[in-house]
Structure 1
Amino acid sequence: MLNAVKLTDIIAPSFYEVHHAVKQDTATHFLLGGGRGSTKSSFTPTEIVLGMISDPNANALALRKVKDTLRESVYESFVWAIEKLGLAHLFDMPASTLRITYKPTGQRIIFRGADNPIKIKSLRLRKGFFKFVWYEEADEFSVEDIRSINQTALRGGDGYKVFYTYNPPKSRKRWVHEYRNNPPASWFVHHSTYLGVPREWLGEQFFIEAETLRQRNELAYRHEYLGEDVGTGGEVFKNLTLRRISDDEIAKFDRIKRGLDFGFAAHPTHYGVMHYDATRRRLYIFYELHKVGMSNRALDNSIKAENKSNARVTADSAEPRTISELRNLGLNIAGAKKGPDSVDHGIKFLQDLDEIIIDPIRCPNTAREFDGYELEPDGNGGWKEGYPDRDNHSIDAVRYAMESEIRGPAISF
């Protein structure tokens, strides 16, 4: 029955590579971002249904952050996929229950909202395992939500496929931005738009609406239809480049600066190493130490392991006792000379650089904090004054490291 259906009539050309990656088992996690009409939310249930009928032990778990949104989104998407594949007679899809069963084997597609994580932890199957998991609007989930759910669902089998579909959020604080720019091992990242979908699938009116928005508000069009990361307008650092910094580049760096922000309680200590190209006004950040609960001796050993020449480290002067102890251990360390507006001066200096280049592989926490650092909204469409004092450990360490450049001849840092 399935042979009578051409997959090219259901899967858009832009998803052929993802289909092959799923089929060839080249990844476990599939991060599928895109704009409106990209068909990512119809591709995913199609792929899951195909996988289930080829493996009699495979079940699926489909999730939304809020339970009330399940029926009109992921459930209807599965119904659509099953009908398009010509398999409706083989699936039990009761309108009154959020559950779909494959009649020949009893395999199930189960739907859950993550607003009640206890129920997810208690999930049990009579047969088989959850081979497929789908997070729709994945940016609404936290990394902790996903980790907990995956730990519950991904057990008792193999060949798992986890799909994360989302429209790029404006806020860069969402985890999908970090994973898209720096995907972990076993992750497949894909971006799609309506421009890769056959025109007749979406209908002429869809394209008319898209073009109308493009002409009226290009930024909104790029975000909604092209799925671009256009930001909220509250991003502090708009001069970032996240890319690999090669060993050859690092070998030529000759203006190395080191900064240290002390941690406390649950807050991490952050040590950063960077090179400043003053001629081109470029800052290269290529080494970090980011850890909670470090003793002063362990911190000293870790810094000396990187800083073999014991060059100067500039640290947060609010911790004179810690600086004194590290100095007694032999570390070449001094406190930053803070002034009344040191935070503003430091951040504005960094904002004015032509480019801040961060290696997201060597410095994942630095990349995350700089990329996600945003002003606080004031609730009226604007922004609160001042810079938020959170998730900025690496930013503080960079400010301390760059104090001699920031202070200049007139500014008291």
Structure 2
Amino acid sequence: MFVTQSEEAYEITNEDAFNKLDLSIRGKLPDHLWKQITFTFNPWNERHWLKARFFDTEDEDILALTTTYKVNEFLGEDDRKIFKKMKRDNPKRYRVEGEAEWGIAEGLVFENWEEKEFDYREISKRKGVVSRFGLDFGYTNDPSAFIGYLEDEENKEIYVFDEFYKPGMLNDEIARQIKYMGYEKEEIIGDSAEQKSIEEIKRHGIRRIKPSVKGKDSILHGIQLLQQYKIYIHPRCVNTITEFSSYIWDTKDSRVLNKPVDAFNHIIDAMRYAIYKQPKKGIDIERLLGKGK
């Protein structure tokens, strides 16, 4: 038997990365042996690709098991006491970690969004509506992420209508994808940390790509700006929906920190790049964390 095991598989943010791993396990084995990949994880988000791939399908090659701490014979009484306290003090988290129910990530950065069908062409006809396009670079482990959305500043609404999300892309491949999607003439804002990549993509025909503006606390300022809008995400933008369902504030000793976890943020970063301008005022942390009135 050839076995590959992944702890905390939830951190594999896209299915393509798993598919590459799956295809890498090749070779003929003797009849009494077989290939096997084992994943373990907490079911934090019902929108995660793991649920659709392994739990919402019937496949004779898949064995999906749900277990809880209650059947773990290696836990001590002190370990079990942690879950009892969690059930009392944090029932939402307990449903996921204690009962293994599929849930929605706790401490979401964005709660001002919803999945919605819409015709972006009709939205674009509104007075004052502008289109925005952002690009976050990745390669081996992180995907390159591109997003297209409409901003209605007057009504404080954003409509996300297109995306691509793929690891292992070279800059010429990113340029070809943008052309294929029909956005080569649009202004696209890319991560300013990747000046060389921006220049290469420009040389491949994406003439209006520009570096993002970044300054002190630009991540928090960008989040604060996006929180001012009602965000509608088209159902076809599945990776955007996954990130908005999973992007959470970091914590330490059960205390919420003033920074998000650096995960499930590639499309969200691209979105920030596209809308962000250097702010003149400071950050309202209480409002940012959802504590302000």
The TM tier, using the shorter chain, reads: 0.5 to 0.7
* Pair 1:272 & 2:164 matched: no
**Cα gap change, 1:359/1:178 in structure 2, threshold over 3 Å: closer, same or farther?**
farther
Return the alpha-carbon distance in structure 1 between the equivalents of residues 251 and 46 of structure 2.
Answer: 13
Q: Deviations over 1:217-271 (max 9, x none)?
A: 9x87xx89xxx99856511111110122336545636411000101122211111
| Aligned length, in residue pairs | 216
Aligned-residue offset at 1:304 = 2.1
Higher relative contact order (CA 8 A, sep 6+): 2
Aligned pairs for 1:252-263 within 5 A: 252=125, 254-263=129-138
The equivalent residue for 1:365 is 239
* Pair 1:235 & 2:108 matched: yes
Return the alpha-carbon distance in structure 1 between the equivalents of residues 245 and 105 of structure 2.
Answer: 12
Aligned pairs for 1:17-36 within 5 A: none
Q: Secondary structure at the match of 1:319?
A: helix
The equivalent residue for 1:42 is none
**Cα gap change, 1:398/1:281 in structure 2, threshold over 3 Å: closer, same or farther?**
same
Gaps of 5+ in 1: 1-115, 119-138, 149-167, 187-216
Aligned-residue offset at 1:384 = 3.0
Return the alpha-carbon distance in structure 2 between the equivalents of residues 176 and 296 of structure 1.
Answer: 26
The equivalent residue for 1:132 is none
Query: In terms of Rg, which structure is larger?
Result: 1
* Pair 1:335 & 2:208 matched: no
Gaps of 5+ in 2: 4-9, 23-41, 60-88, 283-293
Report the TM-score, using the length of structure 2 for normalisation: 0.60
**Cα gap change, 1:387/1:308 in structure 2, threshold over 3 Å: closer, same or farther?**
closer
Aligned-residue offset at 1:390 = 1.9
Residue in structure 1 matching 2:48, options 175, 179, 192:
175
The equivalent residue for 1:306 is 181
Aligned pairs for 1:11-410 within 5 A: 171-172=44-45, 175=48, 231=104, 233-246=106-119, 249=122, 252=125, 254-308=129-183, 310-331=185-206, 332-353=208-229, 355-361=230-236, 363-378=237-252, 380-404=253-277, 407=278
Q: Secondary structure at the match of 1:304?
A: helix
**Cα gap change, 1:351/1:173 in structure 2, threshold over 3 Å: closer, same or farther?**
farther
Return the alpha-carbon distance in structure 2 between the equivalents of residues 309 and 410 of structure 1.
Answer: 34
Q: Secondary structure at the match of 2:249?
A: coil
**Cα gap change, 1:248/1:258 in structure 2, threshold over 3 Å: closer, same or farther?**
closer
Return the alpha-carbon distance in structure 1 between the equivalents of residues 50 and 231 of structure 2.
Answer: 18
**Cα gap change, 1:338/1:301 in structure 2, threshold over 3 Å: closer, same or farther?**
same
Partner AA of 1:397 in structure 2: A
Aligned-residue offset at 1:178 = 7.4
Return the alpha-carbon distance in structure 1 between the equivalents of residues 50 and 213 of structure 2.
Answer: 35
Report the TM-score, using the length of structure 1 for normalisation: 0.44
Partner AA of 2:215 in structure 1: G
Partner AA of 1:376 in structure 2: D
Partner AA of 1:343 in structure 2: I
Partner AA of 1:348 in structure 2: Q
CA contact (8 A) 1:173 1:372 kept: no
Identity %: 30
CA contact (8 A) 2:188 2:209 kept: yes
**Cα gap change, 1:381/1:231 in structure 2, threshold over 3 Å: closer, same or farther?**
farther
Segments ≥4 residues shifted beyond 6 Å: none
Report the RMSD for the aligned CA atoms in angstroms: 4.2
Return the alpha-carbon distance in structure 2 between the equivalents of residues 232 and 273 of structure 1.
Answer: 25
